[in-house]
A and B are shown apart, each in its own frame.
Chain A
Amino acid sequence: QKEVEQNSGPLSVPEGAIASLNCTYSDRGSQSFFWYRQYSGKSPELIMFIYSNGDKEDGRFTAQLNKASQYVSLLIRDSQPSDSATYLCAVKNQAGTALIFGKGTTLSVSS
């Protein structure tokens, strides 16, 4: 069974700080990696995806991928209370047909 692991949290950071969310995956053949944000009672929405080793930046968000270590992370700079949500890491299976989700990390940003 392919697995995606995340710390459940909660991860608490003050407003303006950097929030660091981490994810490890077991399938070494995985090629595509995703971060979804889910507000309480709402559906998941895609924040970023990353395919290549290294960093990918989009506004205040940076995704980092290290395939050798099977590790994906999401950094949120200048965290805002509106960033308070559960962040889901997802990895596409080797067949490329389905996403495997981690259990999510709950982030709380205090003002």
Chain B
Amino acid sequence: NAGVTQTPKFQVLKTGQSMTLQCAQDMNHNSMYWYRQDPGMGLRLIYYSASEGTTDKGEVPNGYNVSRLNKREFSLRLESAAPSQTSVYFCASSVGPTEDTQYFGPGTRLTVL
């Protein structure tokens, strides 16, 4: 039981490049989340998916798109990366949207040059 997994662990992009961050969970959770964490800023919600087939914007959605591919997988896409998107990205999941315990993946450290 791996919990929440994320790939890649590290990534360096040039400004304007695109990439997709992958997240998968094997806990049969309904809800999944993408956060970014910047020094001095705490964790901020980018997008979330309360259940398969639904996605909603969080606090900082600009510059990102998401896809809830199936119940297990929730991907985050940067279409045209900018230096301001340099951050650590965490995926999380919970049993349901109102369930309180969110389980976090190990994170992806992204640098945009």
A96 to B94, CA, bound (A): 12
Contact of B100 among A45, A92, A100 (CB under 8 A): A92
Q: How large is the interface on A (under 10, 10 to 19, 20 to 34, 35 or more residues)?
A: 20 to 34
Residues of chain B contacted by A99 (CB below 8 angstroms): 43, 45, 102
Residues of chain B contacted by A104 (CB below 8 angstroms): 42
Q: Is B74 an interface residue (CB 8 A)?
A: no
Q: Is A68 an interface residue (CB 8 A)?
A: no
Q: How far is the CB of A43 from chain B (nearest CB, A)?
A: 4
Residues of chain A contacted by B40 (CB below 8 angstroms): 8, 103
Which of B102, B103, B107 is the most central at the interface, judged by chain A CB atoms within 10 Å of its CB?
B102
> What is the size, in residues, of chain B's interface with A at 8 Å between Cβ atoms?
24
Q: When the two chains form their complex, are residues B97 and A44 in contact, meaning their CB atoms are under 8 A apart?
A: no
Residues of chain A contacted by B101 (CB below 8 angstroms): 46, 49
Chain B interface main SS type:
loop
Q: Is A88 an interface residue (CB 8 A)?
A: yes
**Taking beta carbons and an 8 Å cutoff, which residues of B are in contact with A?**
33, 35, 40-45, 48, 50, 56, 58-59, 90, 97-98, 100-107
Q: List 29 A-B contacts (CB under 8 A).
A: A8-B40, A34-B100, A43-B90, A43-B104, A43-B105, A43-B106, A44-B90, A44-B104, A45-B104, A46-B101, A49-B100, A49-B101, A88-B43, A92-B100, A96-B97, A96-B98, A97-B48, A97-B50, A97-B56, A97-B97, A97-B98, A98-B33, A99-B45, A100-B45, A100-B59, A101-B35, A101-B42, A103-B42, A104-B42
